[in-house]
């Protein structure tokens, strides 16, 4: 804490930047004169451990003291809560992450049972950390003017919304959620005045992000982003802790006392940190009820344990380069972010992967908070670099489930945000009076393989023939990456608008896995999508033909009924199979056979429409039927 800082009560409220990290969190600001800086505690340490302890007396402890209490009260002390953000209680990753008591074994939101008969969720825990950072900033700066909070680039919609809710719960005015790699690039771009194309390699305690972006005279354009929301330093600690657990006498998969788990993880983290500077570490681990456990760990041994984790980052890096249309030699630099990038193996791997030594001139622990403070200063209109423009992107595609379970992507991944797009859909069945809208996120062609974000129904549509209703669905993604969906039936003006507040934790698979699945199943997904689309079209044609024949049998010529019935039967059989090309061919065949019959029906309809009517009236009534768009599933009222 600076002893020379004197707060001016007449000064404008100061905006702050917050790095809400998995292991540690920081708060930074931009002084009136000078560069962005992090706020220090009384020990001149900018890091606040992201640890919250709930005591039996009702008190809540945050930071270093909570970290000290973790070994004695492991089930009442929540560590690395960021990894629980946006996850459900029945998520496999949730059950793997710590020695906690969960209030429920299923449900859309994780709930921890802690001391004092309290039940808290990750949003409330994160709010305690943010509240502590807010108090720290207020003690130093006085009145605050809002905050920019950083999130991993690969946080999905549920995790972003959960983070924003935590900020509000802590009493902060959340100016924006900013992707961590973009924040780091902002710190480097304004601090070093560098222009060029950069990769930001961000390996923190719980998440990994890689972002390819271009810095050009104050414009920060993200070209692509990738990563793994469940990969970080915690996983390295866990790999080493498993060795310590075996040395304690517990077999793999055995049920461990909660205290032993915390002791092993804390010891592993301490050893990992020590091996950053040393080649060999002798650790003495205090084990309850037994003699201290002595363990010698070399840097080479640690490298063997964590190498598979480090190599996982390379998959996302190569994909991000490919998505940006670049190779490693096209980069002007690689920026390291996150405390886990201090590990020597990580730095060697990054240098080999990108063919150059990474940039480390700004402390990797502090660079994200500094970038967030710069962005907060700009948003508050107090920044000296008011010409800066940030162009971030969507990490995953957003779309709607259409008939047959296929996904109509409305906003593709790597679309610059904020962004808006709309698409028109129509009805599948006659007299359909509602639309079920299922919003999904992901790269797979079928909705069941993507992450479900929200469902809602647009009701009250007057009964119309299939294809007559016109539903315009609009997606708006704000600068925080949070989605708002609006739907309007154009012929009636009926409208509904919702901000997608996702059901936290709907998906079991992490986002990185979703992308891997999209690549691995691309050929099968395309074939399955084509099959489903042809099956849906076949069903629609069959229903329409059967209805037409039943209502207008008098218009059939001799032999037409038999030919149509035979074509219908062949199409029905093909629609049960797997050959989408055969279904398509038989649809065309049925269409050719029915064309004369359809022409006679059209002639009769026109004659009736013109009887006593003006041409203008007819044109106006039939204009809605022009064009072909995807069909939505029938609504609840259908």
Residues designated as active site: 19, 82, 180, 202
Pairing label, strands 144-151, 174-179 = parallel
Structure tokens that stand for 300 in this block: 């080479």
Cβ–Cβ under 8 Å, residues 234 and 306: no
The alpha carbon dihedral of 169, 172, 177, 183 has a sign of negative
Distance CA 128, CA 79 (A): 12
Helices 511-520 and 299-324 cross at an angle (nearest 10°) of 60
Q: Which residues pair with 498 in a beta bridge?
A: 485
- HEC readout, 384-447: CCCCCEEEEECCCCEEEECHHHEEEEEECCCCEECEEEEEEEECCCCCCCEEEEEEEECCCCEH
- Strand locations in 41-195 (E): 48-49, 51-54, 60-62, 77-79, 112-114, 118-120, 144-151, 174-179
Distance CA 557, CA 596 (A): 9
Query: Quick check: helix, strand or coil at residue 52?
Result: strand
| Residue in 321, 32, 14 with CA at minimum distance from that of residue 175 | 14
Pairing label, strands 389-393, 333-337 = unpaired
DSSP at 22: S
Q: Which residues of 421-444 are buried (b: 16+ CB within 10 A; e: fewer)?
A: eebebbbbbeebbbbbbbbbbbbb
Please name the helix (run of DSSP H) or strand (run of DSSP E) that holds residue 374, with its range, or none. Answer: helix 367-379
Q: In terms of C-beta distances under 8 Å and separation of at least 24 residues, what long-range contacts does 284-291 make, across chains too? A: 285/244, 287/248, 287/260, 287/263, 288/257, 288/259, 288/260, 288/263, 290/248
Burial of 459 (0-12, 13-18, 19+ CB in 10 A): middle
Cβ–Cβ under 8 Å, residues 228 and 154: yes
Distance CA 326, CA 212 (A): 9
| Residue in 183, 234, 202 with CA at minimum distance from that of residue 374 | 183
| Residue in 598, 468, 597, 584 with CA at minimum distance from that of residue 534 | 584
Provide Rg for the chain, Cα atoms: 30
The alpha carbon dihedral of 165, 169, 170, 176 has a sign of positive
**Greatest CA separation found in the chain?**
102
């Amino acid at each position: 804490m600076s002893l020379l800082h004197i707060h001016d009560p007449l000064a404008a409220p100061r905006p702050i930047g917050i790095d809400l990290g998995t292991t540690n969190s920081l708060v930074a600001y931009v002084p009136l004169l000078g560069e962005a800086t992090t706020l220090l505690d009384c020990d001149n340490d900018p890091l606040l451990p992201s640890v919250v302890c709930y005591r039996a007396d009702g008190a809540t402890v945050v930071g270093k003291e909570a970290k000290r209490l973790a070994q004695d009260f492991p089930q009442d002390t929540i560590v690395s809560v960021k990894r629980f953000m946006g996850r459900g209680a029945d998520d496999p990753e949730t059950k793997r992450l710590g020695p906690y008591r969960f209030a429920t074994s299923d449900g859309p939101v994780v709930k921890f049972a802690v001391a004092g008969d309290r039940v808290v969720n990750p949003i409330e825990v994160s709010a305690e950390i943010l509240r502590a950072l807010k108090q720290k900033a207020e003690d130093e700066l006085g009145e605050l003017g809002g905050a920019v909070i950083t999130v991993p680039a690969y946080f999905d919609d549920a995790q972003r919304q959960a983070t924003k809710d935590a900020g509000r719960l802590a009493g902060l005015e959340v100016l924006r959620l900013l992707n961590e790699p973009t924040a780091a690039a902002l710190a480097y771009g304004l601090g070093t005045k560098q222009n060029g194309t950069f990769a930001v390699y961000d390996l923190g305690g719980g998440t990994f992000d890689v972002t390819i972006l271009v810095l050009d005279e104050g414009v920060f354009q993200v070209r692509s982003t990738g990563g793994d929301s469940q990969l970080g330093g915690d996983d390295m600690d866990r790999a080493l802790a498993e060795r310590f657990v075996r040395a304690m006498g517990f077999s793999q998969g055995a049920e461990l006392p909660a205290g032993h788990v915390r002791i092993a993880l804390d010891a592993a983290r301490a050893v990992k940190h020590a091996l950053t500077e040393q080649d060999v570490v002798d650790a003495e681990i205090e084990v309850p009820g037994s003699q201290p456990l002595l363990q010698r760990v070399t840097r080479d041994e640690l490298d063997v344990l964590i190498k598979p984790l480090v190599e996982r980052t390379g998959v996302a890096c190569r994909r991000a380069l490919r998505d940006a249309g670049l190779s490693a030699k096209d980069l002007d630099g690689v920026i390291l972010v996150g405390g886990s990038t201090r590990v020597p193996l990580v730095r060697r791997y990054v240098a080999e992967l990108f063919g150059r030594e990474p940039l480390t001139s700004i402390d990797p622990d502090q660079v994200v908070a500094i970038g967030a403070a710069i962005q907060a200063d700009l948003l508050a209109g107090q920044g000296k670099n008011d010409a800066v423009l940030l162009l971030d992107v969507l990490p995953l595609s957003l779309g709607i489930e259409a008939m047959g379970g296929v996904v109509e992507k409305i906003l593709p991944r790597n679309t610059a945000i904020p962004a808006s797009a709309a698409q028109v859909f129509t009805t599948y069945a006659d007299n359909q009076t509602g639309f079920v809208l299922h919003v999904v996120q992901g790269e797979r062609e079928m909705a069941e393989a993507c992450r479900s974000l929200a469902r809602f129904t647009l009701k009250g549509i007057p009964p119309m023939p299939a294809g007559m209703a016109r539903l315009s669905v609009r997606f708006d993604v704000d600068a925080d990456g949070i989605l708002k969906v609006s739907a309007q039936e154009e012929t009636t003006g009926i409208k509904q608008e919702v901000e997608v507040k996702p059901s936290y934790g709907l998906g079991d698979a992490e986002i990185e896995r979703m992308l891997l699945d999209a690549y691995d199943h691309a050929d099968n997904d395309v074939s399955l999508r084509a099959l489903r689309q042809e099956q849906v079209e076949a069903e629609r044609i069959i229903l329409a033909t059967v209805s037409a024949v039943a209502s207008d049998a008098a218009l059939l010529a001799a032999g037409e009924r038999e030919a149509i019935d035979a074509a219908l039967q062949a199409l029905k059989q093909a629609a049960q199979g797997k050959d989408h090309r055969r279904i398509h061919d038989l649809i065309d065949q049925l269409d050719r056979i029915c064309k004369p019959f359809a022409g006679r029906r059209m002639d009769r309809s026109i004659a009736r429409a013109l009887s006593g009517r003006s041409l203008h009236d007819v044109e106006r009534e039939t204009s809605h039927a022009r064009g072909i768009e995807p069909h939505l599933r029938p609504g609840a009222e259908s």
